[in-house]
Amino acid sequence: MAQKGSGLIKAAFDTDNFLMRFSEKVLDIVTVNLLFLVSCLPIFTIGIAKISLYQTIFEIKKSRRVPVFKTYIRSFKQNWKLGIQLGLLELGVSLIVGIDLYLFWGQSGLVFQILKAICLGILIFLTLVMLASYPIAARYELDWKEILQKGLLLVSFNFPWFFLMLGILFLIIMILYLSGFTLILGGSAFLLFGFGLLAFWQAGLMEKLFGKYTTE
Q: What is the pLDDT of residues 4-30, one digit of tens each?
A: 555 555 555 566 777 888 888 999 999
Q: Give me the pLDDT at residue 4, please.
A: 54
Helices (H), the chain: 2-12, 18-39, 46-62, 68-78, 80-104, 110-139, 144-157, 159-176, 180-189, 195-213
> Contact, 35 vs 72, CB < 8 A?
yes
**137-156 per-position pLDDT tens digit:** 999 999 999 999 999 999 99
- Averaged over 121-132, what is the pLDDT? 95
Q: Give me the pLDDT at residue 9, please.
A: 55
Residue 104 — pLDDT band, cuts 50, 70, 90? Answer: confident
Q: Give me the pLDDT at residue 131, please.
A: 95
**61-88 per-position pLDDT tens digit:** 888 888 999 999 999 999 999 999 999 9
- Averaged over 173-187, what is the pLDDT? 86
> Contact, 55 vs 79, CB < 8 A?
yes
- Averaged over 157-183, what is the pLDDT? 90
Residue 133 has phi, psi (to 5 degrees) of -70, -40
Q: Which residue has the higher pLDDT, 92 or 110?
A: 92
Residue 103 — pLDDT band, cuts 50, 70, 90? Answer: confident
> Contact, 48 vs 85, CB < 8 A?
no
- Averaged over 117-127, what is the pLDDT? 93
pTM of the model: 0.88
- Averaged over 26-43, what is the pLDDT? 93
Q: Is the pLDDT of residue 2 over 90?
A: no
Domain positions in the chain: 19-213
Q: Give me the pLDDT at residue 13, please.
A: 56
